[in-house]
Structure formats: structure tokens, C-alpha cells
A and B are shown apart, each in its own frame.
Chain A
Amino acid sequence: MSDDRGDAVDEPATDARRVVVIGAGPAAHRLADAINSRDDAGTLHVTVLGDEPHQPYDRVSLSHRLLGEEDLTLVPTRPWDAARVRLLTGVRATRIDRAARRVHTDDGAEHPYDELVLATGSTAPVPEIRGSDHARVYRTLEDVDALVAECAQVVERSGRAPRVLVAGGGLLGLEAAGGLTGLGAEATVVHSGGWLMSAQLDEGAGQALSRLIAGHGIRLELGTRPQELLVENGSVHAVKLTNGKVVDADIVVFAIGVTPRDGLASAAGLDIGERGGVVVGADCRSSDPNVFAIGEVANVFGRCVGLVAPANAMAETVADRLLGGDAEFSSIDDATSLKLSGVDVASFGDALGATSGALEIVYADPARGLYQKIVVSQDAKTLLGGVFVGDAAPYSSLRPMLGRELGAEPAAYLSAGGEAPSGADLPDDALVCSCNIVTAGTVREAVRSGGGSGEGCHDLGSLKACTRAGTQCGSCVPLVKKLMEQELTAAGVAVSHALCEHFAMTRQELFDGVRVLGLASFDAIVERFGSGRGCDICKPAVASMLASQGGYILDDGRGSLQDTNDRALANMQKDGSYSVVPRIPGGEITPQKLAVIAAVAEKFGLYTKITGGQRIDMFGARLDQLPDIWRILVDAGFESGQAYGKALRNVKSCVGSTWCRFGVQDSVAMAIRLELRYRGLRAPHKLKIGVSGCARECAEARGKDVGVIATAEGWNLYVGGNGGLQPAHGQLLATDLDDESLIRYIDRYFIYYIRTADRLQRTARWIEDLDGGLDHVRSVVVDDALGLADELEATMHRHVDDYQDEWAATLADPERLRRFRSFVNAPDAPDTGLPRVIERGQPRPARPGEAPMPVSLGMPTAPPRETLSTEGSRS
């Protein structure tokens, strides 16, 4: 049965050569893409068989998936749309019949081939110890999704952070442990070596790394390994180690290496290496000339390599061979870097100094967890390798110099040597991106003329898309960026960071200038730094800078700088009416105050809606009604919620330990404290905070610019989360803080952001764009590496002291109230442009062509509820 079906479906109609690829991972993707873009004559017909249910995805970036449903599908996906390429997902190859040149699959089909490529990758092994059937691995999307779900279950079940034990202190294990910690878990890494990453690092580097890792709250057990998983009621509760210790754990992840998936090949009688893997030559051919192997399953030069760069290089080699070329896979680039935020580790080449006569230049600063080593040839000229822990900045510029003469004294490249020599001296054939085999010359060429219409790539995004450099592990991005900027500067293309046509500088530069010179008006600022009369871009930006000097935002000529909403201290809606949001700190409100809001909404005929930020929004107020509305609200003890400003909005909280049986801290009290501290703080973009009373995270704090999550010992602080168009999860900045440290860190973080971010740049993008990213933020906020902490805190204290409620300040001054008149020549005439209809018992703007209903607005004595509903049903 299977035979009939298979042949009928799978025989290609053309006389093209049939290539079958087993495995649909990164290696298979690169092969299909290379063939698709190079085989112009259409001589090959490619079938890719993958047993995972997905299109090939970027395994290297797997950890991103911990933070949410990120799409990791490898790009371009173009090859999968091509007629000559067929991708079958969810199909496993079960047997290779080399005599008949056919591959059998588990759906009963057969796939005849002229050439076969094995790209089956590896599996993550789990040792056969007691309880090991409860262990997890970290290899596929499903593995990661299951880990996320399991962590959530543990939290749900026990109300505390999940405890995770990761076996393996190499790249993968540390990445997994770091990722899970970021998810709120408490991780322990168990490693059999005497120091972490013992395969890549020497002892000094390993110890520096241990300190860094421990500094991230990850516990270490070195020189031992798991002996037994202790299971109760079907789930793990602890792990017994070979040194006798018992470590509590809800989840156990093994990341102890990879095992090549060579079972099909060995069953088919192909040569298999001593320690596994399909033995291939430099042409990637196995012992059967019609069968190739690429990626992690290939055993080349006597070993299998668990890295994506060689997998890509092998795929390119085979594509070339299949198209009649004679490419060879020449050498293995072993360069690795640890992708763990806050821990800089990288090594390349002969990092352990094994070459005879090799010299090592070491710079270590144990207090900072810094260890850097460069390995050079006996004459101290040729670069042989290097290791960087704590600060891997030299890595991306040094790695391409591997095997070449260094342009400068080796020590000059270490952090102690000052500013590292730049990429200017990189020869064109130096490999910049080893993941994708992109040379410095290719990058330069693309900057000059690589764009679609021969225009040249002048920004990082298009450069990445055009060359692929930096699209995989990302470690080469700083160098790629540097090369681009050098090339642009050389070509006389100014890299424009201008705010707008009136200011030829960035927001940060302008802010610094304004601050240093103490300029206090737009006219003075434009005269000093800009030209023209400003516009709707630079005026609000300047207004926000001036706001940080304190004072009422509409006085002294600053009114005309304010954006739409700030100008009216309310949010303009599509019809020109406004919505009003009183502050409800922490979302806590008394019934009496609720009644005031209800009365105001009734009196002025406003539409009411609960916002996503635990507040109540009243829509449909006329400009001239705003003061009347606020007089009632202010008298009842409300103040402006600043929903209109690029400012702190609200602090969302869960009910916390006061009521919730899981809560470990009083999240409401903390939320109110934070909201009252930061209210009125103006920033490049709106700011939101969330506070959750335990790891269950009911306040969704990690979706906020500042997320505070209670732990048994204090608070974990997350930064850089946001919802909206480009959602981002907050990243862990510091753990187990007491109340005062928490506030100090948030003070520093906010002011640093306000000073240095771009216009309309939210904190997530700001962190991403900062040189050094989250690590840099941590060094400024937590470690005070720039010595700015006191000044940042002092600025925040000034803000807190100067705060005044903008609406109370408005109502107190008749001059200020004039801004809310409807017409300059008829201040009492109501604005006429607001036709309304009733829907679900509330007014809303009439749509074009809809007959407006006589909704009474602002008639102080009308009994609105009845009036509205009867009038609604009458028409």
C-alpha cells in the first residue's frame, strides 16, 4: 500500500535531479536557500523532510521563546514557496534504502533520490539515572514551550518561584539557566567540571564567569553531577548529586551536550565516527558518494560541531557541489559567545593556548568579574585566539583577525589598553560574521551599493537584510555597525541623527545643551541650537525637556509648545472633544470617590469606560467644560491622572498580600507609593509601572516600563517591558530588593532614561539601542559605574518636591483658565461640533450620516440618566 502511494505522489514530473534532504533545521534551510538562489537553470528538485511541525526555525535564538510566542522561523522563507523546493513538515524519515535510492517516511511514503543530504542535527541526551524520565531538555520549540508552561504550573500550584536545576555548565546550560531565571525561576547549575564552560575557558576565565553567574542569583554546584531525580506523586521535588548533596528542584533540565542523530545513517551502513556522526570529507560526502551530511550530524575532521556557523558553511559547500562546483569545507570556526544578558563571555580560536610556544596576554580584575586573554604566536604578532569574560567588547573586532598579524601591540586590544583599535584596519577578506560567512569586504560593498536599487545600505536593518551579517547569533553586530559607520563617513554620507529640520542634533544632545546652559524658553533654545520656528516634532520635545525644570506646563510661552493633549490637560478624541482621567493611585478607590466620578459623568453626559490601567476614563467633554469638571473632581480629592502626557501614567497592581492568599508582599501599598512618587514625571514617552504581590504576576508587571514583582525576601525589579505595537517583556535588572533600594534604582533608571532616550522612544527600544543594552543599564543603575547615581537621584528628588497637581494649579489662576475658553470672541458659547447618539445607554460621537440625538451636555440641572435614556429611545 505504502509503495503505491509513495511513488504516485513523489516522483517529480521533470527530469531534474532529485535531491532529498532529511532534517529541516538551520542546515537544511541554508542548503535550500542556496540552491534556490543559485540554481538558475533549475537542474535540481529538492524535497526537505522534517519531523518537527514547523518550518525550519532559528534554534540559536530559542531562548527568545521563553519570553513569549516569538516567531523564530528562519528567513528568507522564499525557498519554501519555490516550485522546485518541497518542504514536508511533521514527516519523519524512517529508513534509507541506498540500493534503491529511496527514503521511507513514517507516513508510508517513499521519496526516490539521486542525491541524499543528511541534516538530521542532534538530540540532547539525558543520562540513564533513576528518575531521568522526568527530566527535560532544551533543544526544540516544544521543549521551551513546555518549560514555560511547567514553570507557570509550579507557580500556580505552590505560589512561589519555580526551582529549576540545570545539569550542564556549558554554553547551553548557562543559557537555559539564565533564560529561566529571567522568567522568574530560581536556578541551580550543576556542572561536572571544576569551572563553568570548562570546554572553552581556562580556569581563570571560568572562575571570573562563576562570579558573574552567581551575581545573577544563579546557584552553582561544581565538580559534581546528578545521581538521582527524587520523585513524589509523579513530579520531581529534588535531585541527589554524586557528592551526596540534595538540591530542591521542581524542574530538571539536562544540557550536557549533543548526540548526533546518525541512527538512520548507521542503519544504512554509512561510516560513523568513533564518537558518533556521519563521517564526511571536506566535500561533505559520506562513504556513499551520493549521500552528503551537513550540520551537527556531520563528523568532519574527526568530530561533530554543535555550532551553526559550520553548519551553514557545510550547507553552502554541498549546494555548490550539487550544482557542479568543487567547494570544500575548510576549517571549523569554534568561536562562541554566551548569549546571556548581563554576562559577557566569548572565546575563539586557540583559547586555551594549546599551540606550542603560544604566548598568553592576560588582564584580570577579579573585583569586577573581568578576565580577558589574548593568545598570540611566539613572536607576539599573529593572533591565535582569545577569551573574554565580563567584558567581551574586544571579541567582535578581534575574531576576524584570527590567524593574521595584529596591527597593534596585543595588550592594546584588552579593556585595560584603553580604546580598542577599530575595525578600520580589517582587511576586506577578514571574516566579520562567521555564522553567515560574511567578510568585511562584503559588508563594505553592501554599504556602498548593496541596496535594492544600487543605492547602498545606509542603516543596520537593510545592511543585515542584504548581507545576512548579524542575523544569527548577533555577536558581530557591533563590528558590522562600526564598519558601516566608517564606510559612510568615508563616503561623506553624514549619519543623520537630527531631531527635525529645525535641530540638527539628537534629542539627547539637545537636552544636554539645554541643561548645561540652563535655557528656559523655546526661543532661546532655537536661537542657540536651531533654526526656524519649530514644528510639531521639536516643540513638544522641548516642552518635555522644559517640564523637567519644573513649573506649570502652560505658563511662560510654554503652552504653545505642548502637544494636542498636554495643551488641554486632557485627551483629545476624534471629534475634538476630550476625555478626562482622574488619578486612582494603584487602582485603589473608595466607594465615595467612585460616586463622585459617577456624578460627574452623569452631570456632563460623559461616556465612561474602565481603562486597561485600572482607572476610569470619561469621554466627550467639551474644552470649556474641563474646568467645571475638574473643579468637582479636585474638590473631592482627585488630581490629574496625566493620561494626556508623555509622563508617568498609572501604576497597576494586584491586590497583593493584604487579601490574596498567595501574596508575599503588599503590592497595593507599594504601587501607591510608586505612583505618588513618580506622578507628573514627564519623559520621552509615556511610562507605566506594574506591581505584583507574588510570582503569579496578576498585575502583568513585566509588560510595563518598570515591573516590580514580590519575592519572599523583597522585590524583583524588571525593566523595559511594554505592550502596544511592539510588545516587549521586561528584563530582570535586580533581585530581592528592599523597599528603599527598589525606589533608589527606579529613580536612577527613570532619570537616566529621560536624559538619554530619543524622542518617543519607549524604554524597551532605548535599552535595545544603548551600547551594551541591559548590561549598560545595570552598570549605571545598580553598579553606578558612571558615578551618576547621586545626581540622578537628586534630580528625581527635585521632581518629587516640585510636584503640583496640574488641574488644581489651573483652577487656582484665572489667567490659566482662559486657555479653556471655547471661542476668543464668545467664551461662553458651547463648541457646536459634537453631535452625539446613544448606544448601550451612553453617548458616543455620531458617525457620518447618522442623525444626532438631542443629548443634553453640560446642563448642570438636568437629571442626565433619565434624560439620556428616554431621549435615546424616543428617536
Chain B
Amino acid sequence: MTLTIEPAIHEDIVPAPRHASAHAVAWQRVCRIDDLEPGWGEAVLLPERQVALFLVGAGELYAVDHRDPKTSAPVMARGIVGSKGARPTIASPLLKQVYDLATGECLSESGPSLATYATRVVGEFVEIAAAA
């Protein structure tokens, strides 16, 4: 799950998740927004898993599992970001399956999907809700 950040808003915590989840989420601060280059994925090391984090265009953030669903290799952050129709996508750098960055659905074949995590920007920091 991901939320879109309006770049104009300068509150401490911006805005609420589009689909608020019922149970509490543990937000983990991972880096500064300036550490990210648009379109260039970064891997994030969390205690329980590795996450691939993408800044797509102006202030739009997505976080998905870093593990490639097909090969189990930790590589998803190194894939190419793009779009299919209106949906933002990430292509596996190994065998090029294409996933919806927002929902994790595999769009290129009927394969396993990718776990997605909520993100938000707090001040100048990026936080991910990726607790087990």
C-alpha cells in the first residue's frame, strides 16, 4: 500500500493512507527523502526483511519486497520503474516479470505477486510500515 504525497504540504505527518488498515502499523524511519533519486530503486535493510524503495516522479513513493518472487534473489530494488497504462510498475531485473508497484500484482504473467508496504514522509524522512 502506498500513499501519494502532495509536494506542497508541509505538515509533520502527511497525509493519511488511502486505505487505512485496521491494525496498528509500526513505522520505521529508513532514510532522508533526499537520499532517493527519482526512478532509481534502493534496498532497505529492516530487522525482519529487505524492502525495495522507489521514488517515482515528484514525491510519489512505493515500497515492495526486495526479494524477487520468481527467483527469491534479493534484487527488486535494481529493476526498472515504469508504467503500464495508468499503473506504476517495476520490472524484475532478472527475468523481467512486471509488477504493479501499488498493488504488487504481477502484470506480465499469472505469477506470484509482490508484497507491498505503506510509506510516508515525515519531515524530510521516509518511513516504511513493514512490520511482520
Asked whether A533 lies within 8 Å of B75 as measured between CB atoms, the reply is: no
Residues of B within 8 A of A822 (CB): 43, 45
Residues of A within 8 A of B131 (CB): none
Question: Which stretch of B3-11, B13-21, B33-41 is in the interface?
Answer: B33-41
Asked whether A532 lies within 8 Å of B82 as measured between CB atoms, the reply is: yes
What's the Cα separation between A575 and B71 when bound, in Å?
8
Say yes or no for A610: interface residue by CB 8 A criterion: no
0/1 interface trace, chain B 93-108, chain A, CB 8 Å (1 if under):
1101010000000000
Say yes or no for B56: interface residue by CB 8 A criterion: yes
- Given A564-B78, A823-B45: A501 and B94 interface contact (C-beta under 8 Å): no
* A161 CB → nearest B CB, Å: 45
What's the Cα separation between A713 and B33 when bound, in Å?
64
Say yes or no for A551: interface residue by CB 8 A criterion: no
Instruction: Give the total of B residues in contact with A, Cβ under 8 Å.
Output: 38
Question: Which stretch of A145-153, A445-453, A535-543, A746-754 is in the interface?
Answer: A535-543
Say yes or no for B132: interface residue by CB 8 A criterion: no
Question: Which of B30, B53, B67, B81 is the one whose CB lies under 8 Å from A560?
Answer: B81
What's the Cα separation between A826 and B35 when bound, in Å?
12
Question: Which stretch of A24-32, A474-482, A566-574, A681-689 is in the interface?
Answer: A566-574
Q: Is the interface of A mostly helix, strand, loop or mixed?
A: loop
What's the Cα separation between A539 and B90 when bound, in Å?
12
0/1 interface trace, chain B 79-98, chain A, CB 8 Å (1 if under):
11111110011010110101
Question: Which of B40, B45, B78 is the one whose CB lies under 8 Å from A825?
Answer: B45
Asked whether A536 lies within 8 Å of B44 as measured between CB atoms, the reply is: no
Asked whether B45 lies within 8 Å of A535 as measured between CB atoms, the reply is: no
* B111 CB → nearest A CB, Å: 16
Asked whether A824 lies within 8 Å of B42 as measured between CB atoms, the reply is: yes
Residues of A within 8 A of B26 (CB): none
* B87 CB → nearest A CB, Å: 10
Say yes or no for A576: interface residue by CB 8 A criterion: yes
Say yes or no for B25: interface residue by CB 8 A criterion: no
Tell me the chain A residues, 813-867 only, with Cβ under 8 Å from chain B: 819, 822-826, 829, 831-833
What's the Cα separation between A539 and B78 when bound, in Å?
14
Asked whether B79 lies within 8 Å of A536 as measured between CB atoms, the reply is: yes
Residues of A within 8 A of B43 (CB): 822-824, 831
Say yes or no for A194: interface residue by CB 8 A criterion: no
| Beta-carbon nearest neighbor of A845 in chain B | B73
Residues of B within 8 A of A159 (CB): none
Question: Which of A539, A823, A826 is the one whose CB lies under 8 Å from B80?
Answer: A539
Say yes or no for A427: interface residue by CB 8 A criterion: no
What's the Cα separation between A825 and B83 when bound, in Å?
27
Say yes or no for A223: interface residue by CB 8 A criterion: no
Question: Which of B31, B84, B93 is the one whose CB lies under 8 Å from A824?
Answer: B31
Residues of B within 8 A of A539 (CB): 80, 82
Asked whether B81 lies within 8 Å of A533 as measured between CB atoms, the reply is: yes
Residues of B within 8 A of A533 (CB): 56-57, 81-83, 88
What's the Cα separation between A567 and B41 when bound, in Å?
11
Say yes or no for B74: interface residue by CB 8 A criterion: yes
Question: Which of B73, B75, B80 is the one whose CB lies under 8 Å from A535?
Answer: B80
| Beta-carbon nearest neighbor of A848 in chain B | B72
- Given A532-B83, A533-B56, A535-B84: A826 and B45 interface contact (C-beta under 8 Å): yes
What's the Cα separation between A412 and B36 when bound, in Å?
63
* A576 CB → nearest B CB, Å: 4
Asked whether A536 lies within 8 Å of B30 as measured between CB atoms, the reply is: no
Residues of B within 8 A of A421 (CB): none
| Beta-carbon nearest neighbor of A818 in chain B | B35
0/1 interface trace, chain B 54-76, chain A, CB 8 Å (1 if under):
00110000000001100111110
Asked whether B80 lies within 8 Å of A560 as measured between CB atoms, the reply is: yes
* B24 CB → nearest A CB, Å: 22
Closest 10 CB pairs of A and B: A560-B39, A535-B82, A533-B83, A824-B42, A536-B91, A564-B93, A576-B73, A833-B74, A823-B45, A576-B75
A-B pairs with beta carbons under 8 Å apart, 5 shown: A568-B78, A574-B73, A824-B30, A826-B45, A833-B72
Instruction: State the A residues within 8 Å of B (CB).
Output: 501-502, 532-536, 539-540, 557, 559-561, 563-564, 567-568, 572, 574-576, 623, 819, 822-826, 829, 831-833
Instruction: State the B residues within 8 Å of A (CB).
Output: 30-31, 35-40, 42-45, 50, 53, 56-57, 67-68, 71-75, 78-85, 88-89, 91, 93-94, 96, 98
